[in-house]
A and B are shown apart, each in its own frame.
Chain A
C-alpha cells in the first residue's frame, strides 16, 4: 500500500529557532501534499496545500512567512516552522495524494513539536 513517512516523529526546540519537518511518499509520486495541525483532543485543521513545483496554497489565517512549505520533488514536501514560539507547539500531520487522480490521500505518522 501507499506509505507516507514523516520525520522527525517528535522534536523539542528552543523558542526563536526554526524547525523543519519532512514528509515523504515512499512508494508513489505525490503531486499534492497537505499539511495539517492538530491540537490535543481536537480535529485536524488544514494549514496548506503543497503542489510540486509551485507555491503552496495557505488556508485563511495561516501565516505564510511563519510556516514555510516547499515541495521540491514528487516525493518530498517540507514544512519549516520559523522563529518558533511555545504557541506553535502542536501535532503536525502531512498527507499525500498520488498523481493520476487518486481518490484518497495517505497520512504520515505525524510530528509532535514542542517549543520551550
Chain B
C-alpha cells in the first residue's frame, strides 16, 4: 500500500535554530514529492516539490528539502526558524500514475517555534 509517514506529531524549536520536519514514503516507482503548510482554518500553501534532478530542493520562505531515494525520505529543513513558521506541515506524494494531481498526505507535523 502507498503511504506517507511523518513520524513526529510535533516539533519544537527555538527561534533562530535550524529545524527539520521528517517525512518518509512508501510508493513504488518515481513519485513526485511535496511539502505544504497549513495555518489554522486555512487551506494548504505550497512550499516546494521534488520532481527530478538535484536532490536538494529550495522552496518558499527559506525552506528546503532533501530527497533521499535510498532512504525514501524527503525531510523539510530551514537553517533558522522564525516564530511565524509555527504551523501544521504536510508531506505529500503524488503516485507515478497521477503526477501532480491526486496526493497522498502524511498525518502532519505541528511545528512550534518559541521566541
Residues on A facing B (Cβ under 8 Å): 4, 6, 10, 32, 34, 41-46, 49, 91, 93, 95, 97, 101-110, 112
Contact = CB atoms under 8 A, between A and B. Distances in A.
3 smallest CB-CB distances across A and B, nearest first, come from A103-B100, A109-B43, A107-B44
A49 B100 contact: no
A6 B107 CA distance: 23
B101 A105 contact: yes
Interface residues of B, number: 23
A93 B43 contact: yes
A66 to B, nearest CB: 21
Contacts of A101: 100
Contacts of B90: 43-44
B33 to A, nearest CB: 11
Contacts of A34: 101-103
Contacts, number: 61
Contacts of A10: 41
Contacts of A97: 100-101
Interface in B59-115: 90, 99-108, 110
Contacts of A49: 101-102
B56 to A, nearest CB: 18
B99 A103 contact: yes
Contacts of B32: 103-104
Contacts of A105: 100-101, 103
A4 B106 CA distance: 22
A6 B44 CA distance: 12
19 contacts: A6-B43, A34-B102, A41-B108, A42-B108, A43-B90, A43-B105, A43-B106, A46-B102, A46-B103, A49-B102, A93-B44, A104-B34, A104-B46, A104-B100, A105-B101, A106-B46, A107-B43, A108-B43, A109-B42
Contact of B49 (A41, A44, A104): A104
Nearest to B46: A104
A60 to B, nearest CB: 12
